[in-house]
Amino acid sequence: MKALITGAKGQLGWSLQRTAPAGAELLCTDVAELDICDTKAVDAFVAQHKPDVIFNAAAYTAVDKAESEEDIALRINAEAVGNLARAAGTAGICLVHVSTDFVFDGTRGIPYAPDAPTTPVSAYGRTKLAGEQAAGKDALIVRTAWVYGSKGHNFVRTMLRLMAERDEVRVVADQIGTPTFATALAKALWTLHNAEVSGVYHYTDSGAASWYDFAVAVQEEALALGLLERAVPIIPIATSDYPTPAQRPHYSVLDKGTTFSIMGEVAPHWRINLRRMLQDVKHNG
């Protein structure tokens, strides 16, 4: 199998490379190697290299900045996805596209099924929903949430830095979702592709947490591993105490029942995968 991975330098792209099946040939690209916003470049690349599948791990993910740059976010999160979808369709191959919990408004209070109504409340969410539509019905679309990894910029890395630098940290406690280890997400994407399914699916780690719960767990696990030298107070705050340009869903837990059934297993609890990530950080930096 030959797989084209876009956004290969990001935390998910890196994880897709680490978890690739034995014998897979990987075409790893970022914007320098392939500008997915360039229709002709995408067509030419796919025609030349003839991949068997495209994993789109590229995205505009600056949620707050997207409020003032929605046109740029739309170009990367939707128009570029359309380019990949058209090239995949011409070649007769599968596009695996990653979407987000931000396509929901977060007002339900129960886990969102893949067919739940989509009502994004931010520019980022709108552009990601447009990306799903551009991917089309033949694509495998996997929504996820709160992704973090051993590499790159993410919540866990930020918390480790702040807890080492500050005497206290303040973290939002009234937004509920599920942390997702990028390595686990990447494995799920490979598994779902191998199952030859299409349509919209959900994948995160198991369980649910607030950002405050997540931060507390980061500190506890990091202290146990010796990644932090001291504990600092973690102060729970309301979303209203930390205003941001973009509105976030207050509850965006995703229903993964169908996905887990296809995979033949339930994802590990988010705290187990957090420990695995921090162990990776300890041993590999």
For the stretch 88-92, contacts whose Cβ atoms lie closer than 8 Å and that sit 24 or more positions apart, written own/partner, are 88/46, 88/54, 88/138, 88/139, 89/136, 89/138, 90/43, 90/46, 91/46, 91/47, 91/50, 91/51
The tokens of 90 are what?
A: 């011409």
Residues 216, 138: Cα–Cα separation, whole Å: 41
Residues 17, 134: Cα–Cα separation, whole Å: 25
Buried b (16+ CB within 10 A) or exposed e, 160-174: bebbeeeeebbbbbb
Confirm whether 124 is a catalytic residue: yes
First to last CA, the chain: 31
Closest CA to 53 of 78, 21, 11, 88: 88
User: Pick the catalytic residue: 112, 124, 201, 251?
Assistant: 124
Residues 123, 78: Cα–Cα separation, whole Å: 12
Task: Cite the active site residues.
Answer: 124
